Chains A and B, each alone.
Chain A
Amino acid sequence: MINVLIVEDENIVTELFAHYISNAGDRYRIAGHVRDAANAEVVCARSGVDLILMDICTAEGSSGIDYAGRIKKKYPGIKIIMITSAPEYSFIERSRRAGADSFWYKEAGERQLIDVMDRTVAGENVWPDSSPEIMLGLAKSSELTAKEKEVLFYIVMGYSIGEIAEKMFVDYTTTKTHIKHLREKTGARNNAELAVMASKTRFVLPDY
């Protein structure tokens, strides 16, 4: 029996996961449910959690990615599946770096979740190739380069061009060129519009 901890701040989602898990037969048991990713570690301290379904955007603004990293360091045997519905550009990569085992987008259905759980428990890592494609103004998200996405992240954070250059260890002109390309691709008239596009579509969620 695999003990599953659900980290999810929406009751409705938790109920749905519980429903999926109970439909999967006897191989899974729900060990607990917490709304704030920060509390996942407390449950892991004793109750023999084997698998965590870890939402990324959880209660109290806690990032599931941050706490997945902490739990993996303390309890490397616990498998963690990161879960989100946001098409945020960096979640997959950051989850990998945090040591998560698999990644699942909520839009997929019941069978896919149980399949990802089964494969993860069996030692496989299941990762989507990329975040879901969305439109940022006139551009498809896949048309942006990695550097342009990074610049966009800092624009949403409210950094000036000089500050972005400093953060990315590039010079001012290079940063301006990235911004120029971002504007050309998306059709945004200024940085504020770029930031609005990125936030509105949840392509950049700096708080998590």
Chain B
Amino acid sequence: MRKISVSSIKEAFDNLPSGICFFDSAGMLVLINKKMTELAFALTGRDLQYSDDMDILLSFPLAADRINENTCLLRDGEVRQFSHERIRAENGRLYDRYIAVDITEIYYKNKQLEEQTMRQARAVADLERMNADCAAAAREEEVLFLKSLIHNEAGACILAARNYLESGGKGDKAALVEMLSLTSDLLLGASDSVRSQGAVSDLTEAVRAAGAELVFDFSEGTDRFDPDSLPRLVIDTVREAVTNAIRHAGADRINVRLSREDVRVKAVVTNTGKLPDGEITEGSGLSSIRGRVERAGGVLHIESRPEFRLTVIIDEGGLSRK
């Protein structure tokens, strides 16, 4: 049977890719492999002899960079992570063991990953910002293009006016005045590029365009508030009732009575159109609205007698404006 000699243990130690060394309880170096010797020299400029030397080594005085308290980047680009453990041998003696593991590949891979993650985080932030701004950007681009068209219109108008004046008033004055008026309208539109006045204001205008009137009022005891602050779901419900009132009842006026108590909003829609012939049958529009209201935890109530009356009650908590 072959006996393992001290020199064969040392040889095996020397072939380890990690640096390793042991100090006895008196702080004397008892075993060190080739790699740890190289590391000690690279990091301190001298060999290790006592455990106190490890304190100097672990301050990484000659390292290219100290990555953290137990990891450093050597000048040749290698990254080593040091660890210390007190171990008890079979004979009961205590030893301090230091190991320096090569984590170069992991370190650079991690660094790559970190950079990639940062790039992705930047891209995601860009994306979120862009998604939020997308509609605005689309509008700006569109408006810019149209402003250039209006600029051309205005230029042609000024030219026509100059020609008219230079010719001593010869030419079609009425056509010129009309052209000036149109250009002025366009310029007013260009300077008043307001996208929306608010959902309720838009709806009110639409009702007016349909030849009817939409009137909001407030229940007794309710503080007045801006109907444009109503949740989108309430506005959609009112819109559906308004469309039906105009289409089926021929209503000229639609009344919406609002009340708000804490987060609970109530809207009651009636109209001045002809009374329903019988019970109101919910079409696809009203059914779809009912589904949305009920999914949002609200209540939709429709009465046909003595007059058409639609009541919607919504808790604003957790509802988005859209």
Contact = CB atoms under 8 A, between A and B. Distances in A.
A134 interface: no
A200 B134 CA distance: 7
B142 A19 contact: no
A47 B146 contact: no
Contact of A59 (B124, B146, B202, B250): B202
B142 A35 contact: no
Interface stretch (B76-84, B162-170, B180-188, B308-316): B180-188
B209 A61 contact: no
Q: Which of A40, A59, A61 has the most C-beta atoms of chain B within 10 angstroms of its own C-beta? A: A59
Interface in B190-209: 190, 192-197, 199, 202-203, 205-207, 209
Nearest to B141: A85
Interface string A9-22: 11111111011001
B244 to A, nearest CB: 8
A195 B130 CA distance: 10
B195 A10 contact: yes
A13 to B, nearest CB: 6
B322 A61 contact: yes
Given A15-B186, A57-B135, A202-B138, A45 B130 contact: no
Nearest to A34: B206
A85 B239 contact: no
A38 B147 CA distance: 27
Contact of B209 (A14, A47, A190): A47
A126 interface: no
Contacts of B182: 19, 22
B298 to A, nearest CB: 19
B203 A39 contact: yes
Interface in B251-273: none
Contacts of B52: none
Interface string A28-55: 0001111110111111111100000000
B94 to A, nearest CB: 52
Question: What is the size category of the interface that chain A forms with chain B?
Answer: 35 or more
A12 B126 CA distance: 29
B205 A189 contact: no
Given A35-B196, A43-B209, A193-B123, A85 B243 contact: no
B100 to A, nearest CB: 35
Contacts of B194: 11
Given A19-B185, A85-B145, A192 B192 contact: no
Contact of A35 (B127, B146, B195): B195
A67 B153 CA distance: 33
B75 interface: no
Contacts of B197: 35
B143 interface: yes
Interface in A156-194: 156, 189-190, 192-193
Interface of B: 116, 119-120, 123-124, 126-127, 130-131, 134-135, 137-139, 141-143, 145-147, 149-150, 153, 182, 185-186, 188-190, 192-197, 199, 202-203, 205-207, 209-212, 232, 236, 239, 242-243, 246-247, 250, 285, 322
Given A16-B146, A36-B203, A196-B130, 5 more contacts: A9-B139, A11-B189, A12-B193, A32-B209, A196-B127
